[in-house]
Amino acid sequence: MRGIYDTAVLLAVYNGETYIQDLLSSLKKQELSDFDIVVSDDGSSDATGKIIAHEILRSNIPTHSLIRPSTDERGAKGNFLFLIESTEAKTYFLCDQDDIWFSSKMKKEKERLDELRKKYGDDLPLLVFSDAEVTDSNLKVLSPSFLEMNGLSGERTDFRQILIDNVAPGCTMCFNRALREKYLSGRVKSYDSESLELIEMHDHYLLMIASVFGHVSFLNEPTLFYRQHEDNEVGAGGEGKAAKIRRNLSALLSGSFKKDKTEFIEKKKRLARAMLCFEDIPDEAGKVLSGFLEMDRMKKSERMRFLKENNIGRNSHDLWFRLFA
């Protein structure tokens, strides 16, 4: 095993025997050939580990691979953060067990990351993400764009928008070591169940860190098939405007509307608290996030003015958010 990898693909798995072979085959076909796969198995009870071990032995990928078995289940969030904590590399890719990567994915994303390095240096957290084609379990395309399917825009990479909407699935991400080091300086860790509750998902947290402390760049094209099936821990979602209105009207009639909106805001407040755990958070970000946490003490008109002045909102359906934040 190397001390520091040049490029590490962090693969988090759990009972993935149905689709893992497809994923591994797509990794073998990558145009970028110099990378290592680091696997964390979150206590699988099926043949996932055996399939991966077999593929590693017969793989034509000119890399070293490492399996890190888990003694207790962390869930996708904890498992990916565990991988980040356990792996030193110059460049990182996050990898789900059930997707299929296009052959140019790693090459294009790393080239964009290298452009950021050239522009900003490699000491700041840098993150690149792309779009994805959403498919069903049999790879029938449900949407050519994950972002469009969910009413999101990859151009909204300011932390004020990212706080509310996560625009980057982890499987589309590529980032540098400085982002990993900044994450380690925070207080949210995979082994700390209490602090881990502050964030909804690992990818949202990493995107916020990069936006607050460094730079984020959107590669405006799909780079993988984002497969949806009944065992997804987090799916692609997707809800049109008409469906959104119907759901909100139904919630109003059932009496759950206010509860649903309150729970949504509370998730974003927990993320704001997680970011404020960084002792060196920039003054502007600290002021905005602290103000966001203080909104309960504001009058309705003051809350709406605060959100508008700080450009905190959703890419779509923003009126619902501002009315009930």
pLDDT tens profile 176-193: 999 999 999 999 999 888
Lowest mean pLDDT among 21-30, 59-68, 99-108, 111-120: 59-68
CA distance 177 to 222: 24
Mean pLDDT of 147-167: 95
Q: Give the pLDDT band (50/70/90) at residue 256.
A: low
Say whether pLDDT at 233 is over 60. Answer: no
Q: Which two tokens stand for residue 112?
A: 């964009």
Residue with the bigger pLDDT between 89 and 73: it is: 89
Say whether pLDDT at 222 is over 60. Answer: yes
CA distance 177 to 7: 10
CA distance 60 to 139: 25
pLDDT digits (tens, 9 = 90+) for 92-107: 999 999 999 999 999 9
CATH 3.90.550.10 domain locations along the chain? 5-227
Cα-Cα-Cα-Cα dihedral sign, residues 174, 180, 181, 187: positive
Specify burial of residue 184 (Cβ count, 10 A radius: 0-12, 13-18, 19+).
exposed
Check residue 55 and give its pLDDT. Answer: 78
Written as one letter, the residue type at 99 is D
Residue position matching structure tokens 């969910």:
150
Considering the chain, what percentage of its residues have pLDDT values greater than 90?
Answer: 67
Residue with the bigger pLDDT between 257 and 31: it is: 31
Q: Give the pLDDT band (50/70/90) at residue 62.
A: very low
CA distance 29 to 102: 8
Specify burial of residue 44 (Cβ count, 10 A radius: 0-12, 13-18, 19+).
buried
Question: What CATH number labels 5-227?
Answer: 3.90.550.10
CA distance 92 to 177: 7
Check residue 1 and give its pLDDT. Answer: 47
Mean pLDDT of 106-122: 98
- Which pairs with CB-CB distance under 8 Å and at least 24 residues apart come from 233-240? 233/75, 233/76, 234/76, 234/201, 236/132, 236/134, 236/142, 236/143, 236/146, 236/149, 236/150, 236/169, 237/149, 237/150, 238/134, 238/142, 238/143, 238/149, 238/150, 239/150, 239/151, 240/151
Q: CA dihedral defined by 271, 276, 281, 286, rounded to 10 degrees? A: 90
Q: Which two tokens stand for residue 59?
A: 């793989």
Please state the φ and ψ torsions of residue 192, each to the nearest 5 degrees: -110, 95
Specify burial of residue 36 (Cβ count, 10 A radius: 0-12, 13-18, 19+).
buried
Lowest mean pLDDT among 201-205, 254-258, 294-298: 254-258
Q: How many CB atoms lie within 10 A of CB 242?
A: 8
Mean pLDDT of 302-311: 92
Check residue 75 and give its pLDDT. Answer: 87
In the chain, how long is the greatest CA-to-CA distance?
64
CA distance 300 to 20: 50
Enumerate the β-bridge partners of residue 92.
Answer: 8, 175
